[in-house]
C-alpha cells in the first residue's frame, strides 16, 4: 500500500485526506492537534507543527512515505518541498520555495523574467514610506507571506499608509509588508496541474469580491466569461510565469487582474490548489476532471494527463453580513436541484476583512449556465 504524507490537518486538507483514503492509500497527517479535523480520518496523525520541516522529514524517512502533498496552504508548501527534495520524491525544488511563498520574492522573480505585474516595494515599518512616494495611488498593502486576504487593504492616500502597513505586518510571519500599485480591472484565477515542467490548464475562475478596502472573495464561478482573445493570452502567459517560478510539479493557482484595455497583471501564484473549494470541488464539477486525485497521483509519481470530459458550470457563494440574502437559500438548499453542498458554519454574520470571517457557503453545478441567486 502506498504511503502519502499530508501536511496540515485543518478542514482545508480534509478533501485530499478523504480522496487518498478513497484511493486505497495509507495517509499520514502532520499538524498541531488543535483544529486537526483530519486526525480522525487519516490512518496516522502526528502532533507536529507544519513548519517543523526537520521533524517531519525525520518522521517521513522513518515511515518510508511514497509522496507528500498539501492543498490550499502556502505555509505547508515550504515543508512539502523540503521533504520531497530531501527524499527525492516528485515535487518542486526546495531551493525555490521562498519564491513561491513570499510575495516580495515572487515580484522580484516576475520582474527578472518580464512577467507583467504591478510596481511594488517591500516595507518593514512606517519609516520605509519614502519608497512609496513615487507610486501612483491608490495602492494595495498586504503581508509578504499570508493568504486568505489576511491583512490586505486598499489605500487611497499616503497618509493612510502607516496604519495599513502596521496591519499587514502584524499578519505577516516575517513581520514584513509589500506595497503595490493598484490595478483596476477584473480578477480571475487560473487552475493548472504540472508534471515534469509540462503545464496543463484545467480551468479559469471568475471572482467576485467585497471590493475595497479588503477585497475578500464572495463568489467564484467556472468557466470564465472572458472573451476568447483574452483566454488565449492567459494560456500563453501562465506557463511562462510557472516556469519563471520553477513550478514543475503539482497544482498551481494563478491570480490575475485584467484591465479594461485587456492588459494582464499577475497578482500572485500559489504552488498549490486554490482554496475556497476551487481546486477541491469546482474544477471537478465544471470539467469532470478529479483535480484532487490528479494532485495525489503527481505526488506519488503516477501522473495521467488530464481529460476534461464535461462542460458544466460550477461555483460557490459565501455567507457573510454582506451576503445575508444568501442565508435562507442555504437553509433551503435541498429545494434547489443545482446545489451540491451548502452549510452555515457560524450563526453570526460578520462584515468580512479576511476569508476566515465568512459564515457559510453554497456550492452549485449547472448544465444551463451560471447559477444566479440574486
* pLDDT digit string (tens) for the chain, length 374 residues: 999 999 999 998 999 999 999 999 999 999 999 999 999 999 999 999 999 999 999 999 999 999 999 998 888 999 999 999 999 999 999 999 999 999 999 999 999 999 999 999 998 877 778 888 889 999 999 999 877 677 889 999 888 898 999 999 988 888 899 999 999 999 999 999 999 999 999 999 999 999 888 889 999 999 999 999 999 999 999 999 999 999 999 999 999 999 999 999 999 999 999 999 999 999 999 999 999 999 999 999 999 999 999 999 999 999 999 999 999 999 999 999 999 999 999 999 999 988 889 999 999 999 999 999 97
Half-sphere exposure (Cβ direction) of 193: Cα atoms closer than 13 Å: 23
Helix axis angle, 103-112 relative to 228-244, nearest 10°?
100
Cα–Cα distance for residue pair 72/268, rounded to 1 Å: 14
What nine digits make up the cell of 181? 500599485
User: The cell 500572485 sits on which residue?
Assistant: 268
DSSP category for residue 136:
P
Cβ contact 245:109 at 8 Å: yes
| DSSP run (H or E) holding 106 | helix 103-112
Question: How many whole angstroms from its chain centre is CA 237?
Answer: 19
Amino acid at each position: 500500500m502506498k504511503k502519502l504524507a499530508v501536511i496540515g490537518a485543518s478542514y482545508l486538507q480534509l478533501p485530499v485526506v478523504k480522496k487518498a483514503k478513497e484511493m486505497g492509500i495509507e495517509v499520514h497527517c502532520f499538524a498541531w492537534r488543535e483544529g486537526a479535523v483530519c486526525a480522525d480520518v487519516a490512518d496516522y496523525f502526528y502532533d507536529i507543527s507544519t513548519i517543523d520541516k526537520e521533524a517531519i522529514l525525520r518522521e517521513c524517512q522513518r515511515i518510508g512515505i511514497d509522496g507528500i502533498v498539501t492543498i490550499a496552504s502556502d505555509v505547508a508548501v515550504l515543508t512539502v518541498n523540503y521533504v520531497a527534495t530531501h527524499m527525492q520524491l516528485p515535487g518542486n525544488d526546495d531551493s525555490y520555495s521562498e519564491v513561491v511563498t513570499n510575495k516580495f520574492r515572487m515580484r522580484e522573480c516576475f520582474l527578472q523574467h518580464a512577467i507583467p505585474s504591478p510596481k511594488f516595494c517591500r516595507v518593514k515599518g512606517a519609516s520605509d514610506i519614502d519608497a512609496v512616494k513615487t507610486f501612483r495611488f491608490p495602492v494595495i498593502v498586504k503581508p509578504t507571506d499570508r493568504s486568505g486576504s489576511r491583512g490586505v487593504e486598499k489605500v487611497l492616500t499616503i497618509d493612510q499608509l502607516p496604519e495599513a502597513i502596521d496591519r499587514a505586518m502584524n499578519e505577516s510571519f516575517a513581520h514584513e509588508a509589500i506595497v503595490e500599485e493598484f490595478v483596476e480591472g477584473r480578477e480571475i484565477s487560473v487552475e493548472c496541474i504540472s508534471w515534469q515542467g509540462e503545464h496543463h490548464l484545467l480551468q479559469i475562475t471568475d471572482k467576485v469580491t467585497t471590493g475595497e478596502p479588503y477585497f475578500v472573495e464572495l463568489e467564484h464561478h467556472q468557466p470564465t466569461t472572458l472573451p476568447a482573445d483574452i483566454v488565449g493570452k492567459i494560456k500563453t502567459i501562465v506557463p511562462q510565469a510557472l516556469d519563471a517560478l520553477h513550478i514543475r510539479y503539482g497544482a498551481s493557482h494563478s491570480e490575475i487582474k485584467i484591465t479594461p484595455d485587456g492588459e494582464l497583471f499577475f497578482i500572485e501564484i500559489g504552488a498549490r490548489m486554490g482554496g475556497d473549494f476551487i481546486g477541491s470541488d469546482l474544477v471537478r464539477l465544471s470539467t469532470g476532471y478529479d483535480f484532487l486525485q490528479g494532485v495525489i497521483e503527481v505526488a506519488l509519481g503516477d501522473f495521467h494527463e488530464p481529460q476534461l470530459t464535461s462542460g458544466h458550470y460550477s461555483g460557490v457563494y459565501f455567507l457573510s453580513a454582506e451576503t445575508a440574502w444568501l442565508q435562507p437559500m442555504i437553509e433551503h438548499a435541498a429545494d434547489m436541484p443545482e446545489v451540491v453542498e451548502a452549510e452555515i458554519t457560524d450563526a453570526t454574520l460578520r462584515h468580512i476583512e479576511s476569508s476566515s470571517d465568512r459564515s457559510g457557503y453554497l456550492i452549485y453545478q449547472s448544465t444551463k449556465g451560471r447559477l444566479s441567486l440574486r
